[in-house]
Structure formats: C-alpha cells, structure tokens
Amino acid sequence: MDIVKLTIDDKTLVVEKGTTLLEAAKTIGINIPSLCYMKLEDLNFENKPGGCRVCVVEVEGRRNLAPACKTVCEEGMKVQTHTVRVVNARRTVMELILSDHPAECLTCAKSGECDLQTVAQKLGIREIHYQGEQSHYKGDKSPAIIRDMDKCIMCRRCETVCNEVQTVGVLSAINRGFEAVVAPAFEMDLDHSTCTYCGQCVAVCPTGALTERDYTWKVIEALVDPTKTVVVQTAPAVRAALGESFGMEPGTLVTGKMVTALRKLGFDYVFDTDFAADLTIMEEGAEILDRLSKHLSGDKEVKLPILTSCCPGWVSFLEHNFADMKDVPSTAKSPQQMFGAIAKSYLAKKLGVKREDMVVVSVMPCLAKKYECTREEFSVNGDPDVNMSISTRELAQLIRNANIDFKQLTDEEFDNPMGESTGASVIFGTTGGVIEAAVRTAYELYTKKELKKVDFEELRGMDGIRQATG
C-alpha cells in the first residue's frame, strides 16, 4: 500500500495515497465543515464535487485556498485548517449561500436537523452582509416527497445518489447561472417523472429543499375522531430502526416497546405487516408453481423467471424503465397493500365496522410506500386500502410529541389474529429474503401437493433457464 506523510495543523500523520485532506483530517479528530461532500460508508461511495467551498483550507506553497474534499494528500504537504484567512473565507461563502436562502428556519421541516443551519451556527453567523435578489422556483408536492427548491444550495448530493447509486436518473442540474437548480428534466414535477420515490435524495439533502411528505397530523386527526376505528401495521424494518431515534444502539430490536407506544398513542388495533408478508409468499409461491407447471406443459407464453413485487419503488422502476417486462414480476400485492385489503374487508366485517370508517395506517421504512397508498388500483370507490403511510422518523416524532418515555416502556404483543407470523416473513427485512421465503414456500407447496410435473432438476440447468426466459 502506497502511503504519504503530511502535516495538518502541526500534527504529523501518515495516510494511504489518494486520501483527501477532508478524510485525513478526520482521522486525527479535526473536523472541517462541508456541505456538498457526502460519504456513504455502507456503499463505500463518496460525492466530492467541490462546489460549496465551505471546506477550504490553507496549503503551504499555494496561493489560493484549497477545497479539502477535492485536494488529495501529497508527501510533505503542510496544511492549516482554521487560520483567520480560512475562517473568514468560510464565513463569506456561507453568507453568500444564505443570502439566496429563505429565512424560514422556524417553520422548516429540517429545522434542527439541517446541515446548512449547523454550519452557520458553528461559524457564528448572526447577520448577512450580502443582500439582493433571491432565486425562486415552483413548488412540487408529490404523495411522498416535497421539493422546495428555493432552499436548494446546489450541493448536488441528490443528483449523485439518484444517478450513480440508485441509477434512477431523475435529477440533474438544469439552467445556468442564477437560475441553476437540480430538478427533473424540463423542471417537471416528480409525479410526471420516472421517480420511484425511494427517498434516497431526501436522506442526503443537507437542507429543507427535499423533505418527506408528513402525514403525522392526519394520523392525529384520525386518532381523535370518535367515529373512526384506527388500525396500524408496522413493517419488520421499523422495529430494528426505531430505537436509534431514542438513543439506543442502531439495530436494537424494540418490537414490544413499539407496540406499547402505538397503543399509548391511541391506535385501536396494533398489527404486524409480517402477517401480510406470510400471505404474500403464499401467493408468490403458488404463482411460481403455476408458471412452472404451465411452462413445462408447453405454454411458452408464460413468463419466467418470476420477480418479487413487494417493493413499490422497484415496481415503479420496472414500469418506467422496462415496460416490456411488466408481466415478469409476481401479480401479488405488496404486504402493505395486502394487509390493507384484508383489514378493510375481513377485519372490518368481523368488527362490524364500515369500510369507510376504518382508517389503516402503515409505519414503513421507505417513502415509496406513501406513493403506493395513492395508486388507484389499491382503493375501492375512492377509499384507499391503506389510508396513509408514515416513516420511522414520523413515528418517533409522534411518540416524542406524546411525551412517552420510550426506553422505559414495557413490552407488549401485537393484537391477534393479524399480529402473528412465521419466520419466512421476518426475513423480508433482509436483502434477498423475499424471494428466499417465496421459493421455500413454493417447495413446501410442491412437496405437499405432489406436483410431480414440475421438474426442478431440469429447471436448475442454465439451458433450461435461458429457454424459460425466452
């Protein structure tokens, strides 16, 4: 491994060749502020456009200040990260950025969790010396994501994650100069673009330019309405992520505490989406066998292999980019929608509640679920199977607003019968878990029903797979 030796703030260190000054400084506890820089540890991916210039540092022998996120460490380099010249430059850059930014911190959805706000506070900015015209763009509210591009600082994090990580390709920088902004082609709304509502752009946005559509107050309105029976379902991933919002170790399972909190919030019934996940794999397992049987009986029109259809973001991506393959995924609904359909038919009938008087709320880890609730095919006479979906963050905020001490809650169980599930549904939260559960179920169905005409040995061969996929 090639290494280089350099000095940062009079501290000598050795780093791997190719390391940036920003990353090198972090290794010795020196924090250099940045806005456009982004590192996704899990994907080993870095975004370093060097556009904001908030991370500038002073390098001995160079006339101009250097952006730490773009400057690679060199042998013998001497760097100063917080000289008067550097701090003054950062303050000037921040004041210029803020001069074209709405002063709406009190009502902004990202207030308190905004990188721009945090950097401005650390730099001690209390007034802006540069006043003038501000850029304005049309608003965009989709079922899942709200775009307020007046707050965009052109860091282009969202563009990078949309194009290079998610490969959706919806967002890019358009226009020039003062009118430049990150948006879909022709500044169209997300609803009219090929957006899958995966929500990764929202996750990496450092300001309030991109935020999730918040349904917490609609949930509260339903909870306080005495004419409504409010049912909640929770996805398997939520129980492993919710604890982090209350200071617990990431990945801590808080299933029992979550159920207790939901009951304290006022939900009439608390159910587990895993119940519907079991229904999903039964449907998908049976469909796999049906397609295999038809194919081996000579029906060459049947589509193989089968792809799972549980993720609305994935389904949307397929619809937009591979329209000729729309008949390849399973025809089964996602667990969220399957649960909603069962709740508003079977459960409502058992409880003696009218369909329109039952409100089904889902707690999901993905913003695409918000969009999925609004699809017309998942409603009856205008009444959606799932009325609204909230994220893990929104649930955490509801719990805080209710002044519930989450860590001290006792564990409770989901309600029956739609709160029980098998191990097959639990692995839905793991990559590859859905198709594994479906195939395992298909095998069980095959051995029990003795569908001997399905020759699995033949289908394991590559030639058979190629013939099956056409």
Q: Indicate whether 250 belongs to any domain.
A: no
pTM of the complete model: 0.85
Identify the pLDDT of residue 382: 92
Identify the pLDDT of residue 215: 95
Q: What is the CATH number of the domain that holds 308?
A: 3.40.950.10
Question: Which tokens sit at 436?
Answer: 């594994």
Bridge partner list, 391:
364
Beta strands in 178-293 (DSSP E): 181-183, 210-212, 229-234, 269-272
Q: Indicate whether 129 belongs to any domain.
A: no
Question: Which tokens sit at 118?
Answer: 């945090």
Q: Indicate whether 34 belongs to any domain.
A: yes
Parent domain of 314: 280-332+432-469
Identify the pLDDT of residue 398: 96
Identity at 342, one-letter amino acid code = I
Q: Domain tally for the chain?
A: 2
| Calpha distance 51→101 (Å, rounded) | 16
Identify the pLDDT of residue 48: 67
Q: Indicate whether 181 belongs to any domain.
A: no
Q: What is the CATH number of the domain that holds 76?
A: 3.10.20.740
Q: What is the mean pLDDT of each run of 10 residues along the chain (470 residues)?
A: 92 94 95 91 73 94 95 96 96 94 92 93 90 89 95 93 93 89 92 93 95 95 97 92 94 95 97 91 88 88 84 90 89 92 93 96 94 93 96 95 96 90 78 83 75 45 34
Q: Indicate whether 246 belongs to any domain.
A: no
Q: Which of 94, 122, 150 is the last residue of a domain?
A: 122
Q: Which of 122, 150, 181 is the last residue of a domain?
A: 122
Identify the pLDDT of residue 405: 96
Identify the pLDDT of residue 303: 86
Residues 236-286: tens digit of each pLDDT: 889 989 999 999 998 899 999 999 999 999 999 999 999 999 888 888 888
Q: Indicate whether 456 belongs to any domain.
A: yes
Q: Which of 106, 122, 138 is the last residue of a domain?
A: 122
Q: Indicate whether 217 belongs to any domain.
A: no
Q: Indicate whether 347 belongs to any domain.
A: no
Per-position b or e across 258-284, b if 16+ CB within 10 A of its CB: bbbbbbebebbbbbbbbbbbbbbbbbb
Question: What contacts 267, CB < 8 A, 6 or more positions away?
Answer: 223, 230, 231, 232, 361
